């Protein structure tokens, strides 16, 4: 016989199982259909997104460097050769906070705005299920 408490338990388990899936981040290709390219407004593109990101670009044409705020503002490449270069680079965020990325090829960052600053927010924990009274 199904009782009210059985129904509450099943509903609670369903909410606990399904809720984390609905709060997980989605994958975005940086720049959308344009990809990682020059003369693009990455700041506007990043607004309102919660994510891990994929830098998609022709291998050998661009690269990706994770930098600090000062290097981002000045388009200063850290140690050359330490950037991402596959053309299909996924960056997964393990901590919250501001993150900065630039292209280290030629003048792509300084003269063509090929840089991205995003704010990674902490995951919001799922609310505790309400208890049946």
CA distance 47 to 38: 19
Question: How confident is the prediction for the chain on average, in pLDDT?
Answer: 78
The pLDDT tens digits of the residues spanning 44-68 come to 888 777 667 899 999 999 999 999 9
User: What's the rounded Cα separation, in Å, for the pair 114 and 85?
Assistant: 15
Alpha-carbon span 72 to 98, nearest angstrom:
11
The pLDDT, as a whole number, for residue 122 is 66
Domain boundaries along the sequence of the chain = 25-120
* CA gap 102, 63 in Å, rounded: 8
| CATH class, 25-120 region | mainly beta
Structure tokens at 107: 């003048």
Has this prediction a pTM greater than 0.75?
no
92-125 per-residue burial string, b: 16 or more CB within 10 A, e: under 16: ebeeeeebbbbbbbeebbeebbbbbbbebeeeee
- For residue range 66-93, list pLDDT tens digits in order: 999 999 999 999 998 899 999 999 998 8
- CB-based contact 65:82 (threshold 8 Å): yes
pLDDT score recorded for residue 2: 46
């Amino acid at each position: 016989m199904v009782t009210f408490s059985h129904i509450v338990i099943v509903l609670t388990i369903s909410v606990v199982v399904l809720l984390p899936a609905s709060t997980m981040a989605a994958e975005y290709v940086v720049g959308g259909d344009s990809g990682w390219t020059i003369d693009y407004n990455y700041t506007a593109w990043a607004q309102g997104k919660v994510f891990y990101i994929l830098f998609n670009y022709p291998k050998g044409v661009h690269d990706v460097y994770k930098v600090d705020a000062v290097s981002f503002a000045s388009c200063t490449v850290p140690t050359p050769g330490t950037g991402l270069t596959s053309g299909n680079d996924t960056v997964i965020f393990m901590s919250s906070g501001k993150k900065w990325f630039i292209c280290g090829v030629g003048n792509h960052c300084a003269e063509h705005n090929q840089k991205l600053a995003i704010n990674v927010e902490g995951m919001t924990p799922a609310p505790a299920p309400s208890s049946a009274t």
